[in-house]
Structure 1
């Protein structure tokens, strides 16, 4: 990596000496993470024997008890309080049990061209490589893997190490009519990386060896980065130069810069630093019609904003390889606080007042009463939040502050930047919070949140191991529609399953805020049926998406579209915009080799002729 300090001229491109050699890695990322679950193979939630207590094991802690979680699960996933007394077991199949379809033969000269472009260790055709590049990490993906429902798989996995290699591969694939699907961290939960076309030879392009920060410019506060870099590696490399990107989505540990750009990702600190499109200056994209590049600069009003043609396109128009991103100094101060509000409405009122004041924290997360209870139930026995939320505090809030303890709402609010700026913003926000009935818990809940904020998917894995499932739906909704959407979604979801005699539970939180609305993020759970298949989940997902559309919400705030949300796109945007996208696709990718059948419904799907 080349670093340029504030005295270095930025006018000469000769100053920017990019990497030309790429050290080989002994183990690739796909070999380090769970093939049928979320995240690190060394981190999981399980039960301790013989006590049956639920615990979490991590690379640094073994069997740390979560004493309230089991009771919470058994109590909440019931009907009228009549539930099971213990957890059922529903183990996954093993890798050996999974049967993959045989790979197709590469057409024409494509196999020879692959060998000419890549070294042998960059081309993987073994079972485990193909298996780990079929799906992302949605509930539908994990259920299918766990029961062995694998109908399609990439024929080969390729791990490029440079822009030039990707460029050559895309052109070769175009000539041979071979499908290419970019694969970043594999954390996508809307089917964006799954092979759907079962007729053509398919390449899964695993970008994770393209993981270098090529240069950092401390005068312009930009950095050029290969897009296969994982979140923690990116921040670690940038911190060596005293800068940070500040993009921290829930998938941060197991997602890539390229995935963030391809799906219009958003991070926890977006209130201060913006979403990924705000951070991106320019990038290179390899397409069947050649490489598309953008100029670097502060801003341009020269016609269409071509950046946004590619951002969010999910690999359907080409493969992003390198990006120039805005960076900022590593914050001098970073302070995160916990607050309890009398109700969800009180917290939203405080949020709106902060947004109108234009003195805005780095992050505001507001958990509704049900997710507040989940937050407390999933903490270790000696966690900081548990200590604060003691019997004495409960009595004080209930009898002195007149809180209805069934409606209490937890909020985590963070401040980052120069110390004087943090102190100023913090004081102004604390005044607004106090006026809306907030009870301060100090920094301990913020510290606990920072330590545990990536753990929720591990709870999902635990539920799948015990005959239950949990999924999510998120949207951007206006302040006017926020409460009506929240109320209807929660009521309709529970009623839908209870009418069938099936337990159901749902909660929500606000994760990102804007002047005209918020990201409202639902988490919903139920019991699996006897066949262990997807029908219960699909019904819940459709119900949630229909309610979101009814209230004018976006079909996705930050998860993307893939194929799971594609059926709603014709309702979310007008048909004219669907046609514009199709024309762009036909021009850039005339043979439809770039991640086909994602993002927009096909004409056949709109007419009901394709499943």
Structure 2
């Protein structure tokens, strides 16, 4: 992974002139290239990992796997959100972790956590580093130092049960690696988020990830039958069967816990046979409301397609322009079916009938082929836009079908209003990315002139959008997780008592508080006494 951009540095490129012209025309501003500090010019702060802690960690994982090099530490300085990359492009790596520690087993993770608790060293679990919500920021308030716990050595397929159709995987496996191992057994996860090429199995579990084919394969957390986690207090082995009435399902405490309660060291997940057939079709609708009603009919009408997503009018136009195609107006939906040949034929016929009845027009396979060709390229385009001085970022939410139109309008207006204060209105795209019988997820993509303070512009826009989401009853995150960025809205999402429950779990499993501090759980409000005692300048 690149240290100041997404993915493979060899795949990075400047914006083509045709795209620069399109973006400048749509935004109504002249693009100006933004400079970026070279890695060789970075001022990486020295590691402050105490010698006693370093020796204790080396005794667990071996000296070669306690890495204090600048290169390793810089590449663990946060995730891949636009604010993350803007800081690093500006040369700000002040928050680099003090070491990168690479355990090879569950037992080593346990011992690393115990050593860190003893020496007051914060631990930030690290998989693919693809978080876009501050989930892997190396925060360490009140601690001596902070390490990045890189799980990349734990990347085995531990077991396959073809009868039950389950597989047990270690957390450091990237998705392509996991799929290659499973394919040898004729199986697949079918989990394909935009971060597919770099995200890891452990990261999916820790963030409740949802892939682009979730309509057919389900969310990742719904795939998990069993998980094992290391905590400073010991091991949690959770989940024995497909269903249980043995009290609350405690594995749900770890799924979505973002490394704040424990480090997931293996998961047993549901897998499917590799599909023998696939059928792709694009459909166009006269407007977003008509397309939304069509997707709701699919989600509520029986077996949905494996993949279904609907772009609004703006996104449909932008995508067509970027691909060199002809924008025809309306909204484009991408639909795919996978399975046996008979299953695909039957489901495709059922879907086509439903979409035609809802006002859709079939556009054939070519638009889907174009989408598949670029489905993982969005972050590279974002990097090119940042290099051209354009602020580009995404956010997502979800709600019930009856609230969806109002939520989309409110978030769009909040983003547009916050970013248009200097007279340069943004472009706000939206698509439905995941569907359920009860509702759907909305995914927004924003492009605006960066100006002199692009990070500040996005912070204000994000705050406005988050408030709009909370005010309209949407979730603050459908699949990006909480991290540090969504903490301001967590109490609204789960209530003050819900926050207290999370704190109680944290105290039980991680008494010293070393695991991924500053994420998931909102900090307690300052007491009246603390406010009264604060110096005047801190008020």
Interval of TM-score (by shorter of Structure 1 and Structure 2) = over 0.9
CA distance in 1, matches of 2:397, 2:457: 21
CA distance in 1, matches of 2:187, 2:526: 46
The answer (yes or no) to whether the contact 1:567–1:600 under 8 Å persists in 2 is no
Q: Are 2:508 and 1:540 aligned?
A: no
State the partner residue of 1:26. Answer: none
Q: Deviations over 1:376-423 (max 9, x none)?
A: 1222x4xxxx3xx48xxx5xxxxxxxxxx3xx1011011111111111
CA distance in 2, matches of 1:105, 1:223: 38
Q: How does 1:426-445 map to 2 (within 5 A)?
A: 426-445=348-367
Which is higher, the Rg of structure 1 or of structure 2?
1
Q: Deviations over 1:148-167 (max 9, x none)?
A: 22332211101122222112
State the partner residue of 2:446. Answer: 524
* 1:253 alignment partner, SS class: coil
The answer (yes or no) to whether the contact 1:296–1:324 under 8 Å persists in 2 is no
**2:336 alignment partner, one of 410, 414, 430:** 414
State the partner residue of 1:340. Answer: 284
State the partner residue of 2:485. Answer: 564
Q: How does 1:241-256 map to 2 (within 5 A)?
A: 241-256=185-200
CA distance in 1, matches of 2:174, 2:37: 28
CA distance in 2, matches of 1:328, 1:469: 40
Q: Deviations over 1:485-534 (max 9, x none)?
A: 2122223322333332233111100000001110100111211222x452
The answer (yes or no) to whether the contact 1:72–1:374 under 8 Å persists in 2 is no
Q: Which runs of 5+ in 2 are unaligned?
A: 532-537
CA distance in 2, matches of 1:359, 1:230: 29
Q: Are 2:449 and 1:481 aligned?
A: no
State the partner residue of 2:107. Answer: 164
Q: Which runs of 5+ in 1 are unaligned?
A: 1-32, 48-52, 55-66, 395-404
**2:382 alignment partner, one of 440, 460, 481:** 460
CA distance in 1, matches of 2:384, 2:303: 40
* 1:454 alignment partner, SS class: coil
Aligned in 2, Cα 1:439/1:240: closer, same or farther, shift over 3 Å? same
Q: Deviations over 1:5-37 (max 9, x none)?
A: xxxxxxxxxxxxxxxxxxxxxxxxxxxx21101
Give the superposition deviation at 1:481: 1.2
The answer (yes or no) to whether the contact 1:473–1:545 under 8 Å persists in 2 is no
Q: Deviations over 1:433-488 (max 9, x none)?
A: 11222221211222222221011111110111011111111011111111112122
The answer (yes or no) to whether the contact 1:359–1:428 under 8 Å persists in 2 is no
CA distance in 2, matches of 1:573, 1:606: 22
**1:592 alignment partner, one of 473, 496, 513:** 513
**1:192 alignment partner, one of 135, 138, 143:** 135
CA distance in 2, matches of 1:478, 1:354: 15
The answer (yes or no) to whether the contact 1:511–1:518 under 8 Å persists in 2 is yes
CA distance in 1, matches of 2:487, 2:150: 24
Give the superposition deviation at 1:119: 2.7
The answer (yes or no) to whether the contact 2:418–2:460 under 8 Å persists in 1 is no
State the partner residue of 1:358. Answer: 302
Give the superposition deviation at 1:312: 0.3
What's the RMSD between the two structures over aligned residues?
A: 1.8
CA distance in 2, matches of 1:360, 1:533: 40
* 2:410 alignment partner, SS class: helix
Q: Are 2:503 and 1:582 aligned?
A: yes
Give the superposition deviation at 1:606: 9.4
Q: Are 2:121 and 1:178 aligned?
A: yes
Q: Are 2:236 and 1:260 aligned?
A: no
* 1:360 alignment partner, SS class: coil
* 1:39 alignment partner, SS class: coil
State the partner residue of 2:476. Answer: 555
The answer (yes or no) to whether the contact 2:49–2:146 under 8 Å persists in 1 is no
Aligned in 2, Cα 1:295/1:519: closer, same or farther, shift over 3 Å? closer
Q: Deviations over 1:102-150 (max 9, x none)?
A: 211326x322222212233322101011111011001110010011223
How many residues are treated as equivalent by the alignment? Answer: 531
Q: Are 2:527 and 1:601 aligned?
A: no
CA distance in 2, matches of 1:360, 1:111: 52
Q: Are 2:5 and 1:40 aligned?
A: no
Q: Deviations over 1:334-356 (max 9, x none)?
A: 22211111111111111111122
Q: Are 2:77 and 1:134 aligned?
A: yes
The answer (yes or no) to whether the contact 2:124–2:516 under 8 Å persists in 1 is yes
* 2:427 alignment partner, SS class: strand
* 1:337 alignment partner, SS class: strand
CA distance in 2, matches of 1:483, 1:112: 57
CA distance in 1, matches of 2:447, 2:49: 42
CA distance in 2, matches of 1:177, 1:247: 37
State the partner residue of 1:95. Answer: 39
The answer (yes or no) to whether the contact 2:414–2:461 under 8 Å persists in 1 is no
Give the superposition deviation at 1:71: 2.9
State the partner residue of 2:24. Answer: 74
Q: How does 1:82-121 map to 2 (within 5 A)?
A: 83-84=29-30, 87-106=31-50, 109-121=52-64
State the partner residue of 2:535. Answer: none
